Amino acid sequence: MSVTRFGISIEQELLEALDEYVKENQFSNRSQAIRQLISRNIVEHKWQCNNQVAGSITLIYDPHKREILNQIASIQEDFYQEIMSTQRFMLEKNN
């Protein structure tokens, strides 16, 4: 993907906040941080447009620990209207 260079003007305080954001999130430069912030803003805007969305949550756990199974069942009961389906894959004991 090609990139386009452009210049921006911002207040010193905002620039310092951006530099702190770059450091906290271990971006290699300001451009990466700005790209991430713009992308996040676009995604959040799309979520607010009342569009139907779907997602996935993947859990890897030891099925012999009963409390985990009870917690998963409880979450499924609490959010039964949001959960459209569930699927389980059993892995070999060594994996």
Domain positions in the chain: 12-47
Q: Cα separation of 12 and 14, whole Å?
A: 5
Confidence of residue 84 (pLDDT cuts 50, 70, 90): confident
Q: What is the mean pLDDT of the chain?
A: 89
- What mean pLDDT is predicted for residues 74-89? 89
Q: Cα separation of 90 and 93, whole Å?
A: 9
Higher pLDDT, 1 or 2: 2
Convert 20-30 to b/e letters by CB count within 10 Å (16 or more is b): eebeeeebeee
- Taking the complete model, does pTM exceed 0.85, yes or no? no
Please name the residues in contact with 83: beta carbons below 8 A apart, sequence gap of 6 or more.
76
Q: Cα separation of 20 and 3, whole Å?
A: 24
Share of the chain above pLDDT 90, in %: 49
